[in-house]
Amino acid sequence: EECDIGLIGLAVMGQNLSMNIASNGFKIGVFNRTYAKTVDTLEIAKKENLTIYGYKTLEELSKNLKKPRKVILLIKAGPAVDENINNILKYFEKGDIIIDGGNEWYLNSEKRIELCKEKNVEYIAMGVSGGELGARYGCSFMPGGSKYAYDCIRDILEKCSAKVGTSPCVTYIGSGSSGNYVKMIHNGIEYGDMQLIAESYFLMKYILKYDNKKLSQVFKKWNEGILNSYLIEITYKILEKKDDLTENDLVDMIMDIAGAKGTGKWTMLESVERGIPCPTICAALDARNISSFMGLRNKASNVFKTVLDIENDLLNALYCCKIISYTQGLFLLKKVSEEKKWDLDLGEIARIWRGGCIIRAVFLDRITNAYKNNKDLELLFLNEEFANEIKNKLPSLRKVISIATTRSVPIPAFSASLAYFQMITSQRLCLNLIQAQRDYFGSHTYKRLDREGDYHTIWE
């Protein structure tokens, strides 16, 4: 068979995209490392009256592709892609085209582009968004790299993409690894959207005391206005979903620890590397990371049950944030020390910062003492002295933030510090809804509060 295009990797994304390509009238050949999945895919396709051509080896697949050969990789990003590209290059010739559709770190693609150039093989790094349903019925493609290659696959991508009106959700992104980069930023923005929605849910739940039914109605109404979007839509549907195992609403049974696959982290690495702040995305990523410390949150929430009164608000607030900020930095040091087995002495480090350096301050003596009392102190502000200070000064911080906010004074570090503190000392977080959203659109599964194991729900 002379296939129009080949596809490697038949997990969720590859299986669905190959059916999409076949249903648009293209002849597609597929290969998967584990052949059983190829057999599965052909059977599933057959049930939908689609013909897909399966091959047991890459060589066979290559031999059955029309020239210039085109192959899409949809496999786990990283070394597996290198391994497969090295194999493909054994069979591909000048002018043939490799398209990596995975969520790849853009610098990895740049190395592969160079490697392919040596053999005059064209390369496209392409972001794909839309999850499994998108892959099957129309997704957003973000292809970057060789323009010549893009023109060769343009027809296939346009037909397989989602349409808004008659416009296909695909365009040539730009040269090099720009397709990966744009997908990465897309995912970062997605993190921000999800977190903002989850925080809105939380505010209404705890301040307005809305129940899930009422919350669902609000998001449904919002979805009819300027906020109309997929994430708002799935949110109101999540909020009305009943649990199969108990009498409760499912969202209340989902553990508030949110997972992540790495693109949010990459966005932050780039943000930091380039000095282009993305604090909302950063807050969203931090929220997921903070959510993972469930035991610690429970412990800290018990220490900070009471909130006290104020004086000298700004001074207090500044001091309070300083403790919170040092807590964060030292926590990072503690964690990297554990992982790399550096055995860092945090008290000693605070001591050598005491003079000479830019952050020198008397305050550091107290940090040294805190670690002298307990060298395994998990969070600096769990030290009794610092904990008491925060308890005393927290109302000032809240007052400062609320005044600044109502008068339009931007105070992102104060706000971020308070947000961090409130999260790390909270027993319950809004990340159960994030987990529900992730399971809804990506089948990422979730854990439950009331029983063991990984769960997945058919949401629609």
Return residues touching ligand NBP (CB under 6 A). Answer: 9-14, 32-34, 37, 74-77, 80, 83-84, 101-103, 128-129, 131-132, 442
Compute the distance between CA of residue 426 and CA of residue 406 in angstroms, rounded to an integer: 25
139: three-class secondary structure by DSSP: strand
Tell me which residue has its CB nearest to ligand NBP.
Answer: 102
Of 131 and 264, CB closest to ligand NBP: 131
Compute the distance between CA of residue 384 and CA of residue 388 in angstroms, rounded to an integer: 6
**Closest Cα partner for 302 from 247, 213, 190, 382?**
382
The annotation status of 72 as a binding-site residue, yes or no, is: no
Contacts with 113 (C-beta within 8 Å, 6 or more apart), sequence order? 123, 125, 145, 176, 177
Contacts with 47 (C-beta within 8 Å, 6 or more apart), sequence order? none
Task: At 339, list the tokens.
Answer: 């992982």
Compute the distance between CA of residue 188 and CA of residue 301 in angstroms, rounded to an integer: 29
Determine contact, residues 152/120, Cβ cutoff 8 Å.
Answer: no
The annotation status of 288 as a binding-site residue, yes or no, is: yes
Specify the DSSP element, H or E, that contains 71: strand 70-73
Catalytic site residue from 27, 183, 237, 334: 183
Of 157 and 253, CB closest to ligand NBP: 157
Of 168 and 442, CB closest to ligand NBP: 442
Minimum Å distance from CB 79 to ligand NBP?
7
Specify the DSSP element, H or E, that contains 454: strand 454-455
The question of whether 209 is a catalytic residue gets the answer no
The annotation status of 354 as a binding-site residue, yes or no, is: no
Minimum Å distance from CB 75 to ligand NBP?
3
Amino acid occupying residue 1: E
Evaluate the CA torsion angle 359, 361, 367, 369 in order and state its sign: positive
Of 62 and 200, CB closest to ligand NBP: 62
Amino acid occupying residue 129: S
Minimum Å distance from CB 127 to ligand NBP?
8
Contacts with 133 (C-beta within 8 Å, 6 or more apart), sequence order? 16, 441
Specify the DSSP element, H or E, that contains 335: helix 313-340
Minimum Å distance from CB 116 to ligand NBP?
18
Of 56 and 335, CB closest to ligand NBP: 56
Determine contact, residues 106/180, Cβ cutoff 8 Å.
Answer: yes
The annotation status of 13 as a binding-site residue, yes or no, is: yes
The annotation status of 261 as a binding-site residue, yes or no, is: yes
Minimum Å distance from CB 394 to ligand NBP?
40
Catalytic site residue from 27, 70, 122, 190: 190
Minimum Å distance from CB 444 to ligand NBP?
8
Of 58 and 251, CB closest to ligand NBP: 58
The annotation status of 350 as a binding-site residue, yes or no, is: no
The annotation status of 187 as a binding-site residue, yes or no, is: yes
Specify the length of the chain in residues. Answer: 460
Helix residue ranges per DSSP H, 48-146: 58-63, 79-91, 106-118, 131-137
The question of whether 183 is a catalytic residue gets the answer yes
The annotation status of 76 as a binding-site residue, yes or no, is: yes
Binding-site annotation, residues for substrate: 103, 129-131, 186-187, 191, 261, 288, 438, 444
Catalytically active residues are 183, 190
Binding-site annotation, residues for NADP(+): 9-14, 32-34, 75-77, 103
